[in-house]
Chains A and B, each alone.
Chain A
């Protein structure tokens, strides 16, 4: 479903991604871990072109993102993204946050979008919050709204960029629970996270990145119980 070939990304003279290759299958949940500055967020952001790759190719559902003729907005409709800092629109109610893109981008009717929104809010456990503003929500609630907002575009892939890193510890669980449900429904997911419990329990595959490269990948069992690479071992020993 997602094919990444020889991906390079430079910020000025700084090489952030060096020859990253990856294949992500449909319905697969891939968890990307690694120390900060390892390029894992940049890798994720390249997958919906929030960062433009310096070179290499990214193909999602047979469409090459790196091809100049590709309409990137079309691809983004199919690739949902959840951010570390939620990025809800503060001047809109929860309902409007969720319905804005379906109505404006997909030309869905307001009524249809609202029905969809209420369904999604029920799914993330926030049915009673449709008419409040983001500032009236807790961090965990905001992130669940952000997930609902991304799902409203009916994406084929969901990208999560450290979705629980900005949350108070007691709110991490509610967000992870929603993500777990999503994985069980068969959503294809790429998750950058420090939540090793989630990686182990929900991940089909774990990718360890360091210094802009994929150092090692494998099933959660392989990665956590018998990592092969020295750098993987030393990273895991520090955080587990």
Chain B
């Protein structure tokens, strides 16, 4: 039996997939990465600080969110926490929160590795000039660490973009869920999911191109 591929159907559903689904996917992922970067930076600094409770807090956070499935985390945030704290869950906020908090754990490890890869002499030179620890971090260590962290941050962005499909389970109408709804109404399964897959592929490849471009730009101005 030969499957009858219907291009008409693809063109029909494409606008909905792109302008509703993919747009929301990009929105969720971008916000997730931004939140994750902020959380990740502080978590990395906590982890490297000399204050034990901060170290423990950071370690517990990264261990939990890297060691449990994102799907479970989404379920807990959407369904378990509102029961405990008695609030009405907002799907959009919970989806962004889940993605941001999850990616924060990975970004923290990226930044930690970046900071630790900077030669000890840099900190020593800065401190020997009378700078405080925070000044040395801010002006000397972090700018160098950020630069090293860009390629792995790009990978994290790509991973999160794909993982954002998981928030479809709490009813977020992003790309994956938009596809699912189309299939529910008109069962052209192959056309729908293949189109969804290709839209994801185009997005992830665009990010990796963008990161590679950014890396080259930085390398051109690299003064190491």
Query: Which A residues have a C-beta under 8 Å from some C-beta of B?
Result: 48, 50, 73-74, 76-77, 79-81, 83, 85, 87-91, 100-101, 104-106, 133-136, 146, 149-150, 153
Expressed in whole angstroms, the Cα–Cα distance for A161 and B156 within the complex equals 41
Across the interface, do A134 and B223 meet the contact criterion of CB distance under 8 Å? yes
Q: Is the interface of B mostly helix, strand, loop or mixed?
A: helix
Expressed in whole angstroms, the Cα–Cα distance for A136 and B222 within the complex equals 11
Within B129-146, the residues touching A (CB, 8 Å) are 129-132, 135, 139-140, 143-144
Across the interface, do A87 and B122 meet the contact criterion of CB distance under 8 Å? yes
Contacts of B139 in A (CB 8 A): 100, 104
Across the interface, do B130 and A105 meet the contact criterion of CB distance under 8 Å? yes
Query: Which B residues have a C-beta under 8 Å from some C-beta of A?
Result: 119, 121-122, 124-132, 135, 139-140, 143-144, 147, 223-224
Q: Which of A50, A73, A81 interacts with B131 by CB under 8 Å?
A: A73
Contacts of B131 in A (CB 8 A): 73, 101, 104-105
Q: What are 21 A-B pairs at a CB distance below 8 A?
A: A50-B124, A73-B130, A73-B131, A73-B132, A77-B130, A80-B129, A83-B125, A85-B119, A87-B122, A87-B125, A88-B125, A89-B125, A89-B140, A90-B144, A91-B143, A91-B223, A104-B135, A104-B139, A105-B131, A105-B135, A150-B128
The residue of chain B having its C-beta at the shortest distance from the C-beta of A146 within the complex is: B125
Contacts of B223 in A (CB 8 A): 90-91, 133-136
Pick the 4 closest A-B CB pairs, nearest first.
Answer: A133-B223, A87-B125, A77-B130, A101-B129
Contacts of B140 in A (CB 8 A): 89, 100
Residue with the highest number of chain B CB atoms closer than 10 Å, among A76, A90, A136, A153: A90
Across the interface, do A50 and B128 meet the contact criterion of CB distance under 8 Å? yes
Q: Which of A134, A135, A153 interacts with B129 by CB under 8 Å?
A: A153
